[in-house]
Amino acid sequence: MESEIQRLYQLRLTRYVTALYNEKPDRIPLRIFAEEFAAKYCGYTNYEVAINHELQFDTNRRFAVETGIDAIQTNSVVNWFGMQKAIGWDGITFPGIGLSVNEINQWSEPTTDEEAFLKASEYDEFIDDPTGFLVTHWFSRFTHHINPPGSPVTFEHNMAFINGLMAYNLFFNTWGAKTIELIQAGVVPAVGSVLKAPLDILGDKLRGYVNLCYDLHERRDKVIKACEALMPHLLNLVLGGADPEGNIPSIIWMHRGCIPFISQRDFKEIYWPTLKPIVEELWAKGHQIIFYAEGKWDQHLESFAGLPEKSIIFHCDKTDIFEAHKILGKKFCISGGIPNELLSMGTVEDVVNRCKQVIDSVAQDGGYIMDASALILNDAKIENVKAMIDFTLNYGTYSQSGASLPSLEEIKKISKPAPTGIKYQVQKRKPGVCIPWEEKRKELPEFQGEEGLAQKVWQDVDGMGYGYCWVNLTW
């Protein structure tokens, strides 16, 4: 017999998916990306949740249950000390370790070619074999324990891989278990797998933004080819973790693909041509994606409008939400638009007035999800976040009742193009592969049993190693 919690979860999931597909549910869904705010709400420091990986999940779940929101990301602070320092990541400083206990994680990146994890002279090598480059060069440069090929294999080198893999498995196994706990509490996991744009990966984790700016002028053809080389791997990664039922959307954290970080020319010639095909292929396979558009993307809205109907959910940070609704609202769901500055420095009345303005202007025909403009950190006032939630629960109701909502199958019934795959230049290793079976097979004696069974086991294991390499790059 279905429990009350199960009915609540199904109602919230249907409400969420209805809005995601740009339709009108019984009321406006509340989806909050709480980040460090969840720790503050539950009385913990940022240090405590950065160190205790289970606390990241538990604080988010408690915050969601107590405030009555519909959906939330599974854990509050993406970066866990245990996983990232086990392998020796150098680029991140944690709260309470070099920072005060309530600071947020701080990232650093290279600013010169000597510091870069991908040198200017190595573009061709990376383009020919991105996975091989990660294993032989990137790991040893991005960490301080792993040594490059030709260097002595030290105790610390070996333990970095062993501890790193153990911590990785612990974290993601916990993720799976805590996702089930979230659902059992009646709350919808807001997002599934993660994507980043090829140009963002190149700037964030390989060259560094400053070096990338030089590259866009000095070796533009290499930048384009490197982004093209990344495309099939990023697609493989986001598809591998996508919700198999196609209810929960994937998400792309959009960092520096907008003006003023890159020019409109760079966007039109590099950023968008190497991102759009991934989004289209994801949709062809039945998966939506949230464009979590950090920064101001007003000048790129017309480009996004060319995507297939309902394929994305556009999240407004600094983008004018009313302009976004005008250009995209007929085709796509919109979310966000409640400024974080208001949640941090405004009054309850200020927050309520902004929520009313957004709901009255953007949400009248459905296809809107309430959320802050950006990830809610611990500078937000608890009373202001609760005001955003409570006002939406009371004011954001449509005329129909939850009982009359259509089924998920009816909501998602829309024609999608057939998957075509992404055309990419020949690489030494295919997406999803580190050591191909044909190569591994040479090490083994003659099979007396069915070879295909062993081949499948090897490909599954090798695929997990591939995932470990690429998740470290994109995390």
Amino acid at 303: S
Which segments in the chain show pLDDT lower than 50? Answer: none
pLDDT of residue 296: 97
386 and 441 belong to one structural domain: no
417 and 448 belong to one structural domain: no
- β-strand 333-336 against 368-369: which pairing, if any? parallel
53 and 151 belong to one structural domain: yes
In sequence order, the 6+-apart residues with CB closer than 8 A to the CB of 265 are none
| Joined tokens for residue 208 | 């560094």
348 and 439 belong to one structural domain: no
18 and 151 belong to one structural domain: yes
pLDDT of residue 99: 94
Distance (Å, whole) CA 21 – CA 25: 10
Count how many domains the chain has: 2
pLDDT of residue 422: 87
386 and 473 belong to one structural domain: no
pLDDT of residue 402: 56
424 and 442 belong to one structural domain: no
Closest CA to 22 of 288, 391, 207, 417: 288
pLDDT of residue 400: 64
pLDDT of residue 360: 98
Q: Hey, CA dihedral for 329, 335, 341, 342, is it positive or negative?
A: positive
332 and 400 belong to one structural domain: yes
146 and 280 belong to one structural domain: yes
335 and 447 belong to one structural domain: no
281 and 353 belong to one structural domain: yes
Count Cβ atoms below 10 Å from residue 214 Cβ, excluding itself: 14
For the CA atoms of the chain, what is the radius of gyration? 23
CATH classification at residue 424: 3.20.20.210
| Joined tokens for residue 60 | 């988010």
Distance (Å, whole) CA 420 – CA 278: 11
pLDDT of residue 11: 96
298 and 336 belong to one structural domain: yes
Domain that holds residue 97: 4-431
Residue owning tokens 């591998």: 240
Contact 320, 278 (CB under 8 A): no
Distance (Å, whole) CA 104 – CA 96: 9
pLDDT of residue 339: 98
pLDDT of residue 71: 98
Amino acid at 453: L
Distance (Å, whole) CA 452 – CA 355: 58
